[in-house]
Copies of this chain bind each other. A is one copy, B any other.
C-alpha cells in the first residue's frame, strides 16, 4: 500500500484522521438520536440536515484522497470498503469502525501485547456492533408488520443473543434490512469465537512450547561457546604458524589444498 501513497496523500490522511474520527462519533450519536428519540419538526430536520452534511464531508474526504492518490485504480481497489460506506447509506453506521482502526494505531507494540491488542480490539468491535447493530435493527424492524423487536432494549438483547450464536429465537428480524444486519452480527459472532479461541490457543501453545524455546536458546548458547573456543584455537594456530615461518619454511603453494582428500 505504501507505494500507492504520495507524500501529499499521507499528509492529508494524517491531518484528517482525528477530525474524521470525531465526525464519525458525531455521526453515530446523531444516528442514535434519530432512532431512539425519533425527533420530528425542526429537530428532525436538523438531524437529517446534519447527517447529510456529514455524508458530504465523508464523500469529500474520499474524493480528495482519490485525487491525491498516485495510482487511482489501485487506490480504489484497496479502499472498496470506504467506497461502499460513501455510496450505500444503509451501511453508513459502519463508518464507526474508523474509531476502532484509530484505537488500533495507538496500541502498536510487540510480543505478548499482540494478544492483548487483539482481545481489546475484538471486545470493542463486538460492543460497537451490538450497540450500532441494535440501533439499525430497531430502525428497520420497529414498525414492520409481524416484527417482535419494538424497543432498543429488545434490539440490544437480540443483537447479543445473535453475536454469541446462541439464537434463542424469542426475537428475530423479519425485514430484509434487519436480516442483512443479522448476517453481519452472525459473521461477527463466528469471528468472535475465532478470535477468543485463537488467542487462547496461541497462549496455551506458547506456554507449553516454552520448554522447546528454552532448548533452542540452550543450543544457541552452546554454538556461541563453540565459536569462542574456535577463536582461541585459531589464535593459537597463528602462533604456531608464525613459529614455523620463523624457521624459514614457506609453503604457500599448499595454502588452498586439503592434503587428506
Contacts and interface: CB of A to CB of B under 8 A. Distances in A.
A251 interface: yes
Interface in A137-167: 153, 157, 160-162, 164-167
Interface string A186-209: 110111111111111111111111
Interface residues of A, number: 89
Contact of A161 (B176, B186, B196, B200): B186
A80 interface: no
A217 to B, nearest CB: 7
A238 B258 contact: yes
A207 B259 contact: no
Contacts of A205: 198, 201-202, 205-206
Interface string A233-253: 111111111111111010110
Contact of A204 (B157, B172, B199, B259): B199
A137 B255 CA distance: 82
A3 interface: no
Given A157-B179, A160-B183, A205-B205, A243 B249 contact: yes
A220 B225 CA distance: 13
A195 B200 CA distance: 7
A218 B217 CA distance: 10
Copies in the complex: 4
Contacts of A16: none
Interface stretch (A4-12, A29-37, A50-58, A110-118): A110-118
A193 B199 CA distance: 12
Interface in A205-232: 205-209, 211-213, 215-220, 222-227, 229-232
A189 to B, nearest CB: 7
B231 A230 contact: no
Contact of A251 (B190, B242, B260): B242
18 contacts: A111-B211, A114-B208, A160-B182, A162-B166, A166-B167, A166-B186, A170-B172, A190-B192, A190-B196, A194-B196, A194-B197, A194-B200, A194-B201, A223-B223, A226-B226, A234-B258, A236-B237, A247-B249
